Amino acid sequence: MPRQIIVAENSGFCFGVKRAVDMTVRCQSGGKMSHTYTLGPLIHNGNVVRSLREQGVREIGEEEIDRLRPGDTLVIRSHGVAPDVLDRIQKSGVHCIDATCPYVSSIQKKARKYHEEGYRIVIVGDRNHPEVIGINGWCGNTAQITRDGSDLKDLPDKVCVLCQTTEKPSNYEKTLEAIAGRSKEVLAFNTICSATKKRQDSADQVSRSVDRMVVVGGRHSSNTGKLFEICSANCRETILVENSTELPDWPIPGETTEKVGVAAGASTPEWVIQDVLGRLREPKA
Ligand code: SF4
């Protein structure tokens, strides 16, 4: 019997990632290819980063900013950066392309505004993720960063809660529950990006109805990791692949139709998704 493939409705590049990749590619086609750098990997997807590298775009770390020459171009990725990093880039004289996702910029502005108004900023997210590190910079690195509120200590009277854009809603809700009654004034903004929520909802839905589930995306991608967590909870046969070469040789379905679901993170390009679908549809000997 054939294999039935069900693709989650919202899969692949989100608005912010597409914008960052387009801005970088546009810069290359302007003839500055050999002098274009990204501050860290442009997106958490090895396929895209390798492709950009082949076209002459190199990634650098923050410690290398001062080594760039005036006239070079430096792209700030969709995760954004802290204001002191922005200052260093501006002072270095390089041409800066700021591809910070507008949704992330909006969180940064909230962090600064409410920090200045005397609120302690609480960020629900991963303390090691560049987006969270950047947001924390906008409140003078004073934020309390938590996974789900369970580790929050010594909360002051005024608290403002923000989320990493790719956070799971359940962690935001748990954090609000943990704070309830402990601070007199709590401002809470659910800053989880709708692109993230849509991808999580459709992956959740598909993974409930299939025999196997394939999540396509970078191993270092936060949003892909969350999709994998959600799908694994619904379907024990869930795997994460970066591209089609990592697909296992599953046995040919027997008498009954095998349903295989596919979901892809917000940093997974369409050509990688199509490649995976092509491999899954391939008849095997
Ligand atoms: S997931 Fe949302 S916040 Fe993050 S880059 Fe994409 S559109 Fe922007």
For residue 69, the domain's CATH number is 3.40.50.11270
C-alpha torsion sign, points 60, 39, 190, 45:
negative
Other beta carbons within 10 angstroms of residue 4's beta carbon come to 13
**Same domain, yes or no, for 272 and 248?**
yes
**Same domain, yes or no, for 78 and 108?**
no
- Cα 185 to middle of ligand 1, angstroms: 29
What angle in degrees, to the nearest 10, is found between the helix axes of 130-137 and 83-92?
Answer: 90
**Same domain, yes or no, for 271 and 201?**
yes
pLDDT of 176? 97
Residue where one domain finishes, among candidates 192, 209, 239: 192
What tokens were used for 67?
A: 């080594």
What tokens were used for 120?
A: 């302690």
Which of these ranges, 90-99, 119-128, 131-140, has the smallest mean pLDDT? 90-99
- Cα 165 to middle of ligand 1, angstroms: 7
Ligand 1 atom with minimal separation from the 104 CA: 3
**Number of domains composing the chain:** 3
**Same domain, yes or no, for 81 and 97?**
yes
Other beta carbons within 10 angstroms of residue 163's beta carbon come to 25
Q: Whose alpha carbon is nearest atom 8 of ligand 1? A: 16
Q: Whose alpha carbon is nearest atom 2 of ligand 1? A: 193
* CATH number of the domain that residue 244 is part of: 3.40.1010.20
**Same domain, yes or no, for 43 and 87?**
yes
Q: Which helix (H) or strand (E) holds 241?
A: strand 238-241
**Same domain, yes or no, for 222 and 155?**
no
Q: Which one of 131, 173, 258, 282 is the catalytic residue?
A: 131
Domain that holds residue 252: 3-12+195-281
Give the pLDDT mean for 13-42.
Answer: 83
Q: What percent of the chain has pLDDT over 70?
A: 95
Q: What is the band of 208 on the pLDDT scale with cuts at 50, 70, 90? A: very high
Residue where one domain finishes, among candidates 53, 68, 101: 101
The answer to whether 131 is a known catalytic residue is yes
**Same domain, yes or no, for 80 and 20?**
yes
**Same domain, yes or no, for 133 and 85?**
no
Q: Is the pLDDT of residue 283 over 70?
A: no
Residue with tokens 């750098």: 37
CA distance 74 to 59: 9
pLDDT of 243? 94
- Cα 199 to middle of ligand 1, angstroms: 11
Question: Which positions ≥6 away from 107 have C-beta within 8 Å?
Answer: 135, 162, 163, 165, 189, 191
**Same domain, yes or no, for 107 and 155?**
yes
Q: Out of 10, 11, 13, 14, give the residue to mutate to test ligand 1, the one with the largest number of ligand atoms within 8 Å of its CB.
A: 14
Give the pLDDT mean for 225-242.
Answer: 96
Q: What percent of the chain has pLDDT over 90?
A: 76
**Same domain, yes or no, for 221 and 186?**
no
Q: Is the pLDDT of residue 285 over 60?
A: no
Question: Which positions ≥6 away from 166 have C-beta within 8 Å?
Answer: 125, 131, 192, 193, 196, 222, 223, 226, 266
Residue where one domain finishes, among candidates 192, 223, 252: 192
Tell me the pTM.
0.86
pLDDT of 33? 46
**Same domain, yes or no, for 93 and 75?**
yes
Q: pLDDT tens for residues 55-74?
A: 889 999 999 999 998 889 99
Give the pLDDT mean for 104-125.
Answer: 98
- Cα 16 to middle of ligand 1, angstroms: 5
Ligand 1 atom with minimal separation from the 79 CA: 5
CA distance 228 to 43: 18
Question: Which positions ≥6 away from 110 have C-beta within 8 Å?
Answer: 160, 162, 189, 191
Letter for the amino acid at 219?
Answer: R
pLDDT of 26? 85
CA distance 98 to 280: 38
pLDDT of 27? 80
Letter for the amino acid at 260?
Answer: V
